[in-house]
Structures are given as C-alpha cells and as structure tokens.
Structure 1
Amino acid sequence: MSTLRTSQKDAYGLILEAIDSGVYRPGDRLVESDLADRFGVSRTPIREALQRLETQSLLTRDGRSLIVASLDHNQMAELYAVRTELEGLAARLAARHATAEEVQVLQEMVEADRARIDDPHALARANRRFHTQIHLASHNRFLVQQLDLVHRSMALMATTSLAAQGRGVTALAEHAKIVDAIRRRDEGGASGALRDHISQAFVTRLKLDSEARSDQ
C-alpha cells in the first residue's frame, strides 16, 4: 500500500512538473500509455494522477481525450484577481513573521536573479521560487496551500510575462522593493508592493495575449 501511494504521488508530481515547465502546453493531449512510458510508472497511478489533475481543472476533456487546459480572458482575469489578494496577504504576513534568515534568502534571490535577466525561462523558474519563499515566510500553512493551487493554475498560461521586452528588469526592481519592505517590517508597504507587482505582470500578460491574437 505504501509503495502504491508513493507511485501515485510521484506520477502526479511528474505530470504537474511537466506542465509547469512547458513540456506539455495548453491544448496538448495526455495519453496514459505515453505518460507511463515517459516517466517509467505503471498506468494505474498515471490514470489516478490524471483524474486528480482533471478534478483540479488543470486538465479538461476533448471528447474522450484529456488535454492540458487553457485559460480564456475571463478566467485569466479571475485568477489574477485571486492571486493579487492572496499574494498581498502573504507579503503582509511575511513582513510580520519572516525570520532574519528568511529575509536574507529573499535578498540573495534578488541578487542572483540579476544574472538571469536575459534568460526569461530561467527567470520564470527563479520567479516561482521567489514567490514560494514569500509564501513560506508568511508562516501560514493554509495560505501556502491556497497559493500553491493558484500557482499550479498559472502553469496553464502558454508563455511567461517575463518574456516581454524589458519586463525582467522591471520585475526584478519590483522584487527588490517587496523584499525591502519585508525587511523593514512594513506590512502595508510589502503588501502594496507585491500587489503592484502582480498588477504589472497582469498588464504585461494582457499585452502579450493581444499581440498573439493580432498575429493569428
């Protein structure tokens, strides 16, 4: 039984990571046998992982097939609205509860990301780690769980907003402002800085989507 649970957890995590990293993109069809071969896992845990991902709306049905879900304009706006509120709360709580060591890690992350400015995909991965660190620094397990669900849904966007021209530089400056507020225990400032950061990311996302539609 323990081995079965481990296989189920591994299959779910492997598929989720593949979606998050762009191996499988919105609209891609996921086939049990192909996934089992790719990840070296039997079809039973793969099937159960797919059912779980469908329940979480990360996969959707196209006839009898399961495909990676995509977000329309309204869904994306709804997701960003929820993310803004939850991220703002995480920053506020981080300013209240973060340890000196956690603040140091955040500062070091910002400095390390300066070397990734010209690599949007590496910067996107680092960005996820940065936000996760703020979530953990909030020291609120229920908030962390909800933000984890939100960030999984962010994987359903075909491109990263950090791929936009100049966005990496401005995003990094926004990160530095957030960390500075957390360091100073400025709860309102940290919350406001992170909410502004998400708002600018949303504006960039809308512009990217508009450009993609005009190119079709």
Structure 2
Amino acid sequence: MSSTQRKESSSASIAYARMLDDIRTGTLQAGDRVTETELATRLELSRTPVREAIRMLEADGLVEHVPRVGATIRKLGYAEVMELYDMRAVLEGTAARMAARTASDIELAELDALNADMATCSDLNQAYHLNRQFHLTLLDAAKNRFLLKSMAGLQRTLLILGPIILSDPTRAAASVEEHEAILRALRARDADAAEAAMRAHIEAGHRKRLRLLRDERRLTPQAEDVLAEAFRD
C-alpha cells in the first residue's frame, strides 16, 4: 500500500468514526440525506475518504440509497426495533451469565466504579460514555470474542435510533439501580440471576425507547396499535 493509499484509508476511518458519532448524537438522523460534498466540507476532508466512509456505513446497514434522493441514514421499522432489542437481551443476558463465572475481581471492581460514577453524573454525554463503558466492560468480562463481535454489529445498528434514553433523569437513575442488581448477581457468582437481571435491564430500556418513538410519532399507525397492546398492563 502506497503512502497516499494509507493516508486515504486513515482519513476514511476518521470520517467513518465522525459519522458514527453524528448518528449517535442525532446530528445525523434517520432519513437525513448524506452528501459527499457537505460532509467533506464539515469534516474538513476530501471527498474520497468521505465516499469510502459512506460505503462502510452502507455495509453496516446504517446508510441506504433511496430512489431520487440518494444516500440517506436508514430508518428502522417497528419490527426491526423489536428484533434488535430482543437480540440485545439475548446477547447481553448471555454475557452476564458468562461473566458471573469468568469475571475477575478487578473487572468487578471496575464495574462497581463505573456505576458509582454514573450515579453521581449530571452530564448527559458523560453518562452515555459511563453507561457504554459499563456494558463494554461486562462484555469483556464474559471473555468470548464471538459474543463481542455480534454485539458490536448490533450496537452500530442501534445508533440509528438517535440520542440515548438516559436523557430522562428517571431512566438514568433506574439504570443505575438495574446495574446494581446485575452487580449483586455477579459478585455472588449467580449466573441465573445475572442473566435475569441483565434481561430485565435491557427490557426496561426497550420499553422506554418505544415510548420515545411513540411520543416522537416515529412509529407507523400499525406499530402504534401493537405498542398500545404491549403497554396495556
């Protein structure tokens, strides 16, 4: 690989990471058009690495080509949101089960520290990073590389849903309590309880996410009917 190719590859990686962050923060939202010229100007890069970054996002399933519109951030349907959270519950529940057996004392101490910091954090962006680090640390503690790879793809797709649900102070506080339930099970080396606590945590986030989508009117009429049924109790 020539020096020029290496530079372009590095620039494409930078553009890709910046665009992922823009999707996470809501700067780029589902349905937004993605143009090489605008992105290259904003990211202060040439169009070639930006074009490659868009291709990478398309391979991830985050960008799609809409007729007469061009490349856009993909919109997730209601069924896809349900399926994503179902898979997240399965994968992270399994990770918690494995971590109950394999997590080291150092990893458990790190999880404790992250959750304690999250409990006192008032900055939304910092809370996001602490929460993300908590879940990544637990995944690392499960010590299964295939599980990590599966979760990485899932998390990228979840970015399309936009800004995190921890913006609701009540949900942020509940997340800390749910993390603590997971930690109690991990400390006790109780695999069944760890998996159950993690599944309950993911499902609580799922319910909050669906409410946000409903309130923002980002669900189809058919989805509204299903959602009403889901919350009738």
Normalising by structure 2, report the TM-score.
Answer: 0.84
Matched AA of 1:26: A
Matched AA of 1:83: R
User: CA 1:165 to 1:213, structure 2 compared with 1: closer, same or farther past 3 Å?
Assistant: farther
Match 1:75 to one of 76, 80, 83 = 80
- What is the deviation of 1:159? 3.8
Q: Are positions 1:88 and 2:96 aligned together?
A: no
Match 1:204 to one of 195, 205, 208 = 208
- What is the deviation of 1:120? 4.2
SS of residue paired to 2:161 = coil
Q: Are positions 1:60 and 2:64 aligned together?
A: yes
SS of residue paired to 2:217 = helix
Equivalent pair of 1:90/1:143 in contact (CA under 8 Å): yes
Once the two structures are aligned, what percentage of the paired residues are identical? Answer: 33
Written as runs of structure 1 = structure 2, the 5 A alignment for 1:26-175 is 26-62=30-66, 63-116=68-121, 118-164=122-168, 166-175=170-179
Normalising by structure 1, report the TM-score.
Answer: 0.90
Q: Are positions 1:213 and 2:217 aligned together?
A: yes
CA RMSD between the two structures: 1.9
Matched AA of 1:89: T
- What is the deviation of 1:53? 0.7
Match 2:187 to one of 173, 179, 183 = 183
C-alpha distance in 1 between matches for 2:25 and 2:133: 13
Match 2:12 to one of 8, 12, 16 = 8
How many residues matched?
213
Per mean C-alpha deviation after superposition, the further-off stretch among 5-14 and 196-205 is: 5-14
Structure 1 gap segments, 5+ residues each: none
- What is the deviation of 1:111? 0.4
SS of residue paired to 1:30 = coil
- The structure with the largest alpha-carbon Rg is 2
User: CA 1:103 to 1:165, structure 2 compared with 1: closer, same or farther past 3 Å?
Assistant: closer
